Amino acid sequence: MVSHVLRPLRAFARSYFDDISVHSRADDGLSAVDVHLRHLRKVFEKMRENKLYANLKKCVFCAPEIPVLGCYVSKSGVRADPEKISSICSWPTPKNQTELRQWLGLANYLHKYTKDYAGLIQPMSSLLKKDVAWNWRPEHQDAFDAVKKSLASAPVLMLPDTSRPFHVVCDASDFVIGCALMQFDAEGRERVVSYQSRQMKPAEKNYPV
């Protein structure tokens, strides 16, 4: 319903179920705040026309950064929720498969912030295979600590700019393939938009790299 109502405004107003995010930037001699106020007015008019109401207590206006789907978005880019990172980094060493699955469930959600994430977790993933006995060894602890260290220093990802070219940096090992989607920002700095990786399927391990 909300997505349908806001479809004409999707250039600056996006929705996810009943959450609405309105983003603005300076344009045509107007400041970002002035443009933002215009955008908000248009959103409110659409909502009023369709008898949709916002909960004022849950609204945040003119904020430099907003929470969106487990991350924080600002003009600087997208950063991971510090509370999620804190939960992952303070998690004690797993004592069984259930605890490991729970921890990986949290860490997997932030995989796009970690280079070669699939490669880092590979030793731990092997413990979750069917009929594999639980035996937490030093290589598993090293992998566990490596993921924590990587997420503790997670980069601020660049918001994709469709007016600029993208480039992809690829890498592969004997059991993992990965890439980084990159862009140069307005200041000429190379920035990461997203890291992606996955473990190879059995047949893929026979392919030449």
Domain boundaries, given as residue ranges, for the chain:
2-63, 79-152, 167-206
Please choose, from the candidates 37, 34, 46, 60, the residue with its C-alpha nearest in 3D space to the C-alpha of residue 10.
Answer: 46
| Cβ proximity of 167 and 149 under 8 Å | no
Question: Between these two residues, 136 and 70, which has the higher pLDDT value?
Answer: 136
| pLDDT score at 18 | 84
| pLDDT score at 25 | 86
Query: Quick one: which H or E segment has residue 160?
Result: none
Contacts of 12 (CB under 8 A, 6+ apart): 22, 23, 24, 39
Alpha helices in the chain (DSSP H): 2-6, 32-49, 82-89, 97-108, 117-125, 138-152
pLDDT in tens, 33-70: 999 999 999 999 999 999 999 999 989 888 899 888 88
Q: What is the pTM of this model?
A: 0.82
Half-sphere exposure of 39 (CA within 13 A, CB side): 24
CA distance 100 to 88: 11
| Cβ proximity of 198 and 176 under 8 Å | yes
End-to-end CA distance of the chain: 47
Using the predicted structure, report yes or no on whether residue 209 has a pLDDT greater than 70. Answer: no
